[in-house]
Amino acid sequence: MLGMIKNSLFGSVETWPWQILSKGGKGEVSYEERACEGGKFATVEVTDKPVDEALREAMPKVMKYVGGTNDKGIGMGMTVPISFAVFPSADGSLQKKLKVWFRIPNEFQSNPPAPSDDSIKIEDREGITVYSTQFGGYARATDYVAHAAQLRTTLEGTATCRSDFYFCTGYDPPMKPYGRRNEVWLVKSNE
């Protein structure tokens, strides 16, 4: 675990590969349209808990897996962003469910170590196209909900996005006090 923290603070961190397709904005809200690569992801799903509480339960499990609690005892290093899917209700509030998606580093994509924790699954995911908006600070569920609503309003009439879920992302370790980067990713609908 200490090695994982040291690596995330001082080591190299791999970024989830994507290509910027376009940029836009309206008023105070700017966004990027990105084509994000698919691949293998370590996932943890938590239900029946508010999002902030569920995230506090899921993240340590993923971090331990990445840090070496796996069948090979290998610390894989970090990829950013860490993303988690949230599931909005009709009124925009979040359901008591989330799913953390950690993209396995490229070096381990073809043969990722098996998790030691049964709640962690390795899943293949196709590439996705997202509309992303960025904001700072220590993000909480209310921040993600507000930024998702702003981005949806900005995209009205120009883009169609999935309404059943969206991604919340973070790029920084918890001990980084300033210059933090968070994003909301609305998934482009193929309709």
Kindly state whether residue 139 falls inside one of the protein's structural domains: yes
Kindly state whether residue 3 falls inside one of the protein's structural domains: no
Kindly state whether residue 92 falls inside one of the protein's structural domains: yes
Kindly state whether residue 4 falls inside one of the protein's structural domains: no
What stretch of H or E contains 54? helix 51-67
Kindly state whether residue 5 falls inside one of the protein's structural domains: no
Q: Compute the distance between CA of residue 80 and CA of residue 15 in angstroms, rounded to an integer.
A: 5
Residue range(s) defining the domain that contains residue 153: 14-188
Radius of gyration of the chain from its Cα atoms, rounded to whole angstroms: 16
Q: Could you give the number of structural domains in the chain?
A: 1
Query: At residue 131, does pLDDT exceed 80?
Result: yes
Taking only the tens place, the pLDDT of each residue in 62-89 is 999 999 999 999 999 889 999 999 999 9
The domain that holds 71 is classified in CATH as: 3.20.80.10
pTM of the model: 0.89
Strand partners, 156: none
Kindly state whether residue 9 falls inside one of the protein's structural domains: no
Kindly state whether residue 111 falls inside one of the protein's structural domains: yes
Enter the tokens of residue 47. Answer: 């239900």
- In the block, tokens 């949806």 appear at 152
Query: Which pLDDT value is given to residue 104?
Result: 94
